[in-house]
Amino acid sequence: MANTDNLTGINDGNRQMKTSDKELSTKPAAEVTEILESFSLSKSNLQEISQLMRQNMDRGLNSATNASAIVKMYPSFVRSLPDGTEKGDFFALDLGGSNFRVLLVQLLDGDVKMKSKIYKISQETMTGTGEQLFDSIADSLAEFKAEQGLGDTDLPLGFTFSFPCKQMGLATATLVKWTKGFTASNVEGKDVVQLLKEACKRKNVNLQIVALVNDTVGTLMSCAYSCRDAYIGLILGTGTNACYMEKLSDVGTWTGDDKEPREVIINMEWGAFGDDGCLDDYRTEFDREMDGLTLNKSKQLYEKMISGMYLGEIVRLALVKLGSSGHLFGGKVSEDLKTAWKFETRFLTDIEGDASSENAECRSILTNLGLTTSPSDLTIVRSVCVAVSTRAAKLAVAGLAAVISKIGLNELTIAVDGSLYKKHPTFKPNMEQFLKELVPSVSVKLMLSEDGSGKGAALVAAVAARLSS
């Protein structure tokens, strides 16, 4: 449950700390206050960040500047949101790790029914040949179709492929680089849709693979089926990204036809915002130190200030500094706390979700990290968590404000998915509050997207079928 007593407006900086003024006014706490204030963002700060995001969006959309743009604004080739008339049976394939899902999605009169099965890819298959990998997937598709009594039925399929791709059409996408432990040979640089089609042909699996879907686009499509004014999709989980519906006339990089509908969903890839240094004034010493610990140093800097992969590490680094300078834990920092990535982002969720005055959850987490704590230590640690998560929510809203401004509507819904948004106790209410303050003239609703990678992928296939009919 959100602790609403800790919420303050943008103009007040970060949320108030769960402590007394007397505790913070003591001389030793000056460094604590300084560190907390380093995460504070004023309304004018957020307005400037929003303007910078808008400038980067324009660069990404402009064919003359796209090559050097850090926010790439990739056209998804999804030309329409669902209009509610989509009907029929569709398959979806969700591949993003060693487990993948196959789904049968049935659409009828605005109702959605789904059946799914999870399959595991062996380590041998993940690191073998591309042909072995896609043959294994095709075998699973055949098994699932047979189990659903649809063995010989030729149905459209939407393919969620959560690896870095360059998309050249709705059903054409080249794998840029494998991640997540996959090294299957002869796939990088190849059209993954074509590879799946060839495997299905070898295995005699009848399917129309009509779309390759980014998970952010799927998030938007999933909500848009039941919510007619959903125009933005947002991921706030391990990483962060956004997409939105754009007019074709504003997409200078568009290479498709100009027939109706003259719009397309743009996959912003906004995590790279700031990679050119434009956010340097807002990055703290802890952001820089954390960045140095990552494999992609100086990349995805906006994402590193917002998403769940990094928030815990930012907090850990701040706690190490405060402990080492004698302001926490009696000046004794445990080996666990000194260990990179040991303070997990889920700890922020647990600590901030504990509304008790004793901060029992905080004490338990710190004790398990080998730390001896006092009541004032618990107060300070909680305050650091609050400062870091609040800044993340504000930064996400600053980016959304730029997108909302670009769309130009007075009322809209943002489809949101991701573990950080779903699990953190104050992320959603903070975003709602900051949106009201940053875009007061627009009525904005945040809507949790259910299964964008499955349901959303099938809806992309359904919309493609509707447009081609």
Any idea which residues carry the catalytic annotation? Answer: 101, 162, 215
Q: For CA atoms 124, 127, 132, 137, give the dihedral sign.
A: positive
The separation between the first and the last C-alpha atoms of the chain, rounded to the nearest angstrom, is 47
Nearest CA to 138 out of 179, 214, 192, 174 is that of 192
The single-letter DSSP state of residue 119 is E
Give backbone dihedrals phi and psi of 149, rounded to 5 degrees, phi first: 70, 30
Query: Using an 8 Å Cβ cutoff, are 10 and 437 in contact?
Result: yes
If you ran DSSP here, which 8-state letter would residue 191 be given? B
Distance CA 267, CA 245 (A): 9
Burial of 454 from C-beta contacts in 10 A (0-12 / 13-18 / 19+):
buried
Q: Are 75 and 244 in contact (CB under 8 A)?
A: no
Which residue shows structure tokens 């080739």? 77
For residue 167, the cross-strand partners are 173
Evaluated on CA atoms 346, 350, 353, 359, the torsion sign reads negative
| DSSP string for 156-184 | EEEEEE-S-EEEEETTEEEE----TT---
Sign of CA pseudo-dihedral 297, 302, 308, 312? positive
- DSSP H/E element including 375: helix 375-407
